[in-house]
Amino acid sequence: MAGVSQAGYREWRPFRGPFDPCPPILIKTYVVPPNQYITFQPMNLPQFSLQEALRKGTLWPALFSPYESKSGKGR
């Protein structure tokens, strides 16, 4: 996932010691939740329909951040 351009993802490079017994993981990624970017509720923010909001777990598309499985076995 190196070079992920999707907003909300960050990368870091863990320390690799010379005597580590495991193969190195060069780049690790993590998700920053969208609510960290929106500090207040702006006026006229777009909203999902009620049924779609219940499915996605939020009323506002700006706060929707789907979980994507790294194994690729997700829906």
pLDDT digits (tens, 9 = 90+) for 39-72: 787 889 899 999 999 999 889 888 887 777 777 6
Extract the tokens encoding 49. Answer: 């329909």
| Confidence at residue 4, expressed as pLDDT on a 0 to 100 scale | 40
pTM for the whole structure: 0.52
Q: How far apart are CA 20 and CA 26, in angstroms?
A: 13
CA 67 – CA 38 distance, rounded (Å): 19
Measured between alpha carbons, how far is residue 62 from residues 11, 25, 41, 53, 58 in Å? 22, 32, 10, 12, 9
